[in-house]
Structure 1
């Protein structure tokens, strides 16, 4: 099921529309939204057959969005679920990329899809991500080399103060590996500002230039 109809339309003064179509069917409108990573939901008016594709509020990667008023009576809103190639967990969608990149490259790759590097809020989420994306029969014995993926957690701004890159939220839950973040070598910690998740779901601090798998997340 790709869409769910919202029973009560959220009260907003305006929204960013990726596209506005005239005289199209409900199915055509939904297909257009489904084909675009940055389309969160669409609004449709049965009478006029008008279609609005609504952009994620915290992303405007296209540069072509238009501000529309959403208070029009008769508009029904349909919220998109996880797209093909994305998996759902607790209302969030996750996608693992096919290639590795450094932390900055990984962040850009996710942003292209109107998503962000994973922000882990619970042990259950950490273990699900590990089991879903990092438990691989081809994974070598050295887990810290090839069985890891970037998270959005970092202390790039203030050493030792960890924040999530997208939400800017401080760290409230942690799942560190017993010897991390570099507790045995504080000097090494100065060069390890980006955090990845290991195969078993534990966290490790890493140099941001390291090439790592990319897991992106979207929240609906």
Structure 2
């Protein structure tokens, strides 16, 4: 017997196998005769399937067609705007472009950015405004990758709550959100 588990996020369907006999059912190898242990295993497996589906959709080559002057990498489009603005203005500016302020997700993306954009300081979507010392992206509330310069973040003067990418150092630094830097917006097929 086959059943389906509907993905909540993307409304896609994953297939799993269920086999039942007179003593109970097995879900992809987990036997259940009404035990809570197996129900927990089933929930864990369903959760893993959901995470796998989400990961696949995130990695799926997107239909993002970069505008003229934008650069494409790994299903995302990037553009560095020369106008300087504070971190809050940068967030709004990128949203008005139907993009987000740059989110650097791994070392490969960081290295690609270093090779493909000028050596200038620009804002990234990383802040600890909500909880001092807990750095997350404003867009997702997550923190999956960091590239802080040695001794950073230091919250110097107690007012450094936003991060910028400082390629003079090749890493990130925290600074007042009121400082003005250039803006790098990122278009994503997962937005």
Q: Aligned partners of 1:79 and 1:151: how far apart in 2?
A: 24
Q: Aligned partners of 2:175 and 2:105: how far apart in 1?
A: 20
Q: Does 1:101 align with 2:69?
A: no
Task: Please provide the CA RMSD for this pair.
Answer: 2.0
Residues 79, 121 of structure 1: CA spacing in aligned structure 2 closer, same or farther, 3 A cutoff? Answer: closer
Q: 1:91 aligns with which of 70, 75, 93?
A: 75
Residues 189, 206 of structure 1: CA spacing in aligned structure 2 closer, same or farther, 3 A cutoff? Answer: same
Q: Deviation digits for residues 85-130 of structure 1, max 9, x if unmatched?
A: 2111111110111210000111111011100111111112112222
Residues 103, 89 of structure 1: CA spacing in aligned structure 2 closer, same or farther, 3 A cutoff? Answer: same
- The count of aligned residue pairs is 130
The equivalent of 2:177 in structure 1 is: 208
The equivalent of 2:31 in structure 1 is: none
The equivalent of 1:198 in structure 2 is: 166
Q: Aligned partners of 1:113 and 1:87: how far apart in 2?
A: 15
Q: TM-score, normalised by structure 2?
A: 0.63
Q: Aligned partners of 2:64 and 2:107: how far apart in 1?
A: 27
Q: Aligned partners of 1:89 and 1:211: how far apart in 2?
A: 26
Listed as ranges, the gaps of 5+ residues in structure 2 are: 1-9, 13-61
Q: Aligned partners of 1:198 and 1:98: how far apart in 2?
A: 15
Matches within 5 A, 1:4-153: 79-135=63-119, 147-153=120-126
Is the 1:104–1:208 Cα contact (8 Å) retained in structure 2? yes
Listed as ranges, the gaps of 5+ residues in structure 1 are: 1-9, 13-77, 136-146
Shift of 1:217: 0.4
Q: Deviation digits for residues 35-71 of structure 1, max 9, x if unmatched?
A: xxxxxxxxxxxxxxxxxxxxxxxxxxxxxxxxxxxxx
Residues 91, 99 of structure 1: CA spacing in aligned structure 2 closer, same or farther, 3 A cutoff? Answer: same
Is the 1:126–1:201 Cα contact (8 Å) retained in structure 2? no
Q: Does 1:173 align with 2:125?
A: no
Is the 2:64–2:188 Cα contact (8 Å) retained in structure 1? no
1:213 partner SS: strand
Q: TM-score, normalised by structure 1?
A: 0.55
2:84 partner SS: coil
Q: Aligned partners of 1:80 and 1:116: how far apart in 2?
A: 14
